[in-house]
Copies of this chain bind each other. A is one copy, B any other.
Amino acid sequence: MYIPTFQDMLDAHDRIKPYIHRTPVLTSSYFNELTGAELFFKCENFQKAGAFKVRGASNAVFGLSDEDAAKGVCTHSSGNHALSLSYAAGRRGIPCNVVMPRTAPEAKKAAVRGYGGIITECEPSTTNREEVFAQVQAATGGDFVHPYNDPRVIAGQGTCSREFLEQMAQEQGGGLDMMVAPIGGGGMISGTCLTLSHLAPDIKIIASEPEQADDAYRSFKAGHIIADDAPVTIADGLKVPLKERTWHFVSNHVSEILTASEQEIIDAMKLTWQRMKLVMEPSCAVPLATILKNKELFAGKRVGVIVTGGNVDLDMLPWMLS
């Protein structure tokens, strides 16, 4: 099993820079007062294709040889990776096939198609998703870019923390005590571990997860991967289980995994829209929800929060449904 290296992350950053945004770091005196911490939000909701996942996807697509690239790429994804891989493939001018759960938000499906991605729908369970994907891959012969258990993807996601640390030093007068990111399959957290363990090993890395999809939390406590087949949560980007590569990083470098209830996630999401004027999706409200719930852990600290994405169906906002 190849574990991506710090050099892979540096190479990824050089490779993908023309295709990604250096997203801004924003602060909020409202949330600082509310939490007692000093929070810094890395706004990957402003990223190309609306989420951090374009970093890993672009690294995979632009690292292919011309011969391999000609056959295209394919993947399965609950949404943002599908979008990002379609975007990256479109920039390189190669085909992209994606298997998506039929329950994925319409806004995400439309955006995948908008970038030229070809969608095959599956049932919203891990097993069915993998079955349908095997058929699609056999039929197309494209390079499989796994949404997170892929060294190219993890190295790409790691570029986010590198930028974040640079921006903290240049714009925010110093470093961080802690970094918080959501955990689903663990791609962003693994990239964060990869980068911070080399550049700033003293920063505590905390992962945030929905209570209703807390397989990473239970894996972390048990010391081995526990996978659920079809968890139900509003945080649709965080339903997938850890795999061996992301488990490597989580088990070695993550300090703690915190969880939040569905209502806490929705409340944190709505509060961020109201006070920070940021459109963020439910998955990326999970870190703030866990910070609000565990203020004592964060009080007095400088805390980096990765706002992972902003692809939400504006006709189906969670507070309009309850």
Contacts and interface: CB of A to CB of B under 8 A. Distances in A.
Interface string A152-186: 00000000000000000000000000000000000
A145 to B, nearest CB: 23
Contact of A50 (B26, B48, B277, B279): B277
B277 A273 contact: no
A279 B50 CA distance: 14
B274 A277 contact: no
Contact of A314 (B24, B45, B48, B319): B319
Interface residues of A, number: 23
A314 B280 contact: no
A276 B50 CA distance: 8
Contact of A107 (B24, B26, B46, B274): B274
A162 to B, nearest CB: 20
Interface in A41-56: 43, 45-46, 48, 50
A310 interface: yes
Contacts of A46: 26, 276-277
Of A43, A280, A314, most B-chain CB atoms within 10 Å: A314
Interface of A: 24, 26, 29, 43, 45-46, 48, 50, 107, 270, 273-274, 276-280, 310, 314-315, 317, 319-320
Given A24-B26, A46-B277, A279-B279, 14 more contacts: A24-B24, A26-B46, A43-B277, A45-B277, A50-B277, A107-B274, A273-B279, A273-B314, A274-B279, A274-B314, A277-B278, A277-B279, A317-B317, A320-B320
* 8 nearest CB pairs, A to B: A277-B310, A277-B279, A45-B277, A273-B279, A24-B24, A46-B277, A273-B314, A279-B279
